[in-house]
Chains A and B, each alone.
Chain A
């Protein structure tokens, strides 16, 4: 989220700002918190892809009024099913969400507010608890992989590495770079056995589900450009160096051939 563009979008109706800490790279919360304070608008951090990410050592999920995390099997900390977590320092919100997730039940027989069914299975909590001690190692290994990619891919003219600002700890749930001839590169990688992906090819504002908001193609030019150029390479903690080398080699090969 380009935080510098937020102010002109704020109206009397604005109730919250939801920055997405996409890929493990946090929105600039230093700037955003100033806006939140000035306009008295709470921040909900979508930190689904950014567990253990931080800015100036202050972690994702601790800046806003609440932080939302996902434990989906593809996340850095992953359980064996859908799952999620919220974090907050606000006791009222904490108590309310505790009630909301379990039908508003204060105890078995007393319903204090009408809630939902959104409980993390015991089973999945066991899996999560087992994984948590490895969380730092998982993040560090991904960071190591990403740095290695950065160093090597930056030598290729057709690849642009996103900005890696100082003091940001990027935990690389996704390793994304901008690539010329992205679609062809993607095809080439897939053909070579590399499971590259695009997160995500169609921006939210152009989805059919948002038709009623009447956005036009081109309303968000940077978003559009990214959609055309982004490519995601495997970056998980189980990758071996030789696999990363193979990916780098394959990308080089692709551009040499053209």
Chain B
């Protein structure tokens, strides 16, 4: 049995006819950038995320950049975040001249909220919480700190569209929510795309302008911006795929539960789900002994897994230039050697998950 890690081919085969039709409609409209499909997508997202506003962008990375920029993050400032994320959550901080201040993580890979307060200084301008893999960080605690020190929270929700904390959706839990619609995400476009959510009108208007060269209208530029617009085609595809988001999440959650049932958890740690949190399982990450050997073993049997991420950002070659010593990220470093991401996509069958689980169990026997 061959099990791919992701199955975009399958997704395409189910939607091909409909999406090709939609693309044709966009083409006939003669409008490739902006337009109704984009505003419709923004409306859809603000409804799903329960925020007043959403802005469609070119990528989740740009979403983070604009969020930081709009909060006034600049040279010399500090932003608190985690190191076990995709590099964009740190690079966006660095590109604005600010310093990433890493906090270690909990067993479930999310920021250790109890270790945040000791990292807050006069220079702290934002807390960037990464809802890694579809889980949601301990937002009540984090928002209390935010209030106490008057430091806004940015949610890096790139991997957690539809996830909830105490029934409230990600994107509505901080000042600004940043999402990705990259082809590998639960809600995925046919190329790079992203979006932000917020309740703050000024931030909304600022990001709207920033993403379109700072244009107030065709001929007037109020503030220099960037070009980070969601393609009309991508908005169109995302509007279409939004209809399946609920069922995608339902199936992924079901798959995760099956793993919990079938995998022998003596050698493999599956972090438990916080009952306050609705996890959408963008990734299903377990922590395994002999991870590298296990991965090879599974590769050989054509079960394709992934690692999110084998090298924490603070240990990347690019981080050398930061000239910061990190000696309190023990859990982050430890986990990077144990974590392995099992396929959890919505197209997997129960039989396949049983097979993967059995193979893992067999490896340890």
Contacts and interface: CB of A to CB of B under 8 A. Distances in A.
Contacts of A122: 191
Given A82-B231, A208-B220, A209-B223, A111 B88 contact: no
Interface stretch (B271-279, B295-303, B308-316): B308-316
A117 B192 contact: yes
A121 interface: yes
The 5 closest A-B CB pairs, nearest first, are A121-B191, A81-B231, A114-B91, A117-B61, A111-B316
B181 to A, nearest CB: 12
B311 A109 contact: yes
A181 interface: no
Interface string A107-129: 00111111111010111100000
Contact of B192 (A72, A110, A113, A121): A121
B207 to A, nearest CB: 16
B232 interface: yes
Contacts of A73: 32-33
B324 to A, nearest CB: 14
Interface in A91-140: 103-105, 109-117, 119, 121-124
Given A111-B87, A208-B222, A209-B214, A123 B61 contact: no
8 contacts: A73-B33, A81-B191, A81-B231, A82-B227, A105-B87, A112-B317, A116-B91, A119-B192
A204 B220 CA distance: 9
B233 A80 contact: yes
Contact of B221 (A105, A112, A115, A208): A208
B222 to A, nearest CB: 5
Secondary structure call for the A interface: loop
A82 B87 contact: no
Which range holds the interface residue count of chain B?
35 or more
B318 interface: yes
B59 A117 contact: yes
B338 to A, nearest CB: 15
A56 interface: no
Contacts of B192: 117, 119, 121
B247 to A, nearest CB: 25
B332 interface: no
Given A80-B32, A112-B318, 9 more contacts: A81-B32, A103-B87, A104-B318, A114-B87, A114-B94, A114-B95, A119-B192, A122-B191, A209-B224
B81 interface: no
Contacts of B219: 200-202
Interface in A188-236: 200-202, 204, 207-209
Contacts of A200: 219
Interface string B161-172: 000000000000
A117 B62 contact: yes
B223 A81 contact: no
Contacts of B90: 114
Contacts of B82: none
Contacts of B234: 81
Interface in A75-97: 79-82
B61 A116 contact: yes
A82 B220 contact: no
A207 B33 contact: no
Interface in B306-332: 307, 309-311, 313, 316-319
Contacts of B220: 202, 207-208
Contacts of B27: 80
Nearest to B180: A117
B58 interface: yes
Contacts of A119: 192
Contacts of A80: 26-27, 32, 231, 233
A213 to B, nearest CB: 11
A122 B88 CA distance: 21
A104 B91 contact: yes
Nearest to B27: A80
Interface in A26-47: none
